[in-house]
A = this chain, B = another copy of it.
């Protein structure tokens, strides 16, 4: 597979899709996911880790609300990674991540993830390229551990939006009183580093591809949700799960 070039990938839904039809399919997918999750929880043999990455305002929160908001909350957890605390910084960068990985039967969603430690840190030159490469290798080993030793299916999504769409959404946060709490001046500063971020992301897709990434065109929320829900559905179905019978005592 050639290297992923984000510039070459559309951020929009394919033109031949009808929004209303896809939205209807999303409702059906929600039902299907509900049943599959119940099975995952009942069987408790596998676990699922969903990693959601993307630039500011790429729609990470919304994707989580829409795709995972209809599942049984007892079987889903969401962790949002912010700047590490002093205690977290006094450990290796995967320490706080490992704590939150899914137990068997569970779906764990990461809103941002271990990848921030080779993205924001790299773009801001808090780490050099050599360290970034070492970290990406550690991430590969870590993901393999989860896969091999806890039957964890790892789904990695990059929410791909255009610079223009981002600018529009950040402005909305300023204008809408119910969204102002999400506004952060630093987001505009980060937006200026767009090219550096794209480069750092492309390097992740290339170096951490043993478990592949899904690039999700995310200018249209309905399409973004559709891709994530479909991928999750297909993954859960591939596990060939069954309801356990009565326990033998």
Contacts and interface: CB of A to CB of B under 8 A. Distances in A.
Contacts of A249: 185
Given A185-B249, A245-B180, A247-B183, A73 B76 contact: yes
A42 interface: yes
A246 B185 CA distance: 10
Q: How many identical chains are in the complex?
A: 2
B76 A246 contact: no
Contacts of A177: 243, 245
Interface residues of A, number: 34
A181 B69 contact: no
Contact of A73 (B71, B174, B178, B185): B71
Interface stretch (A21-29, A60-68, A118-126): A60-68
A184 interface: yes
Contacts of A178: 38, 42, 243
7 contacts: A64-B73, A68-B73, A69-B70, A69-B73, A180-B243, A180-B246, A181-B245
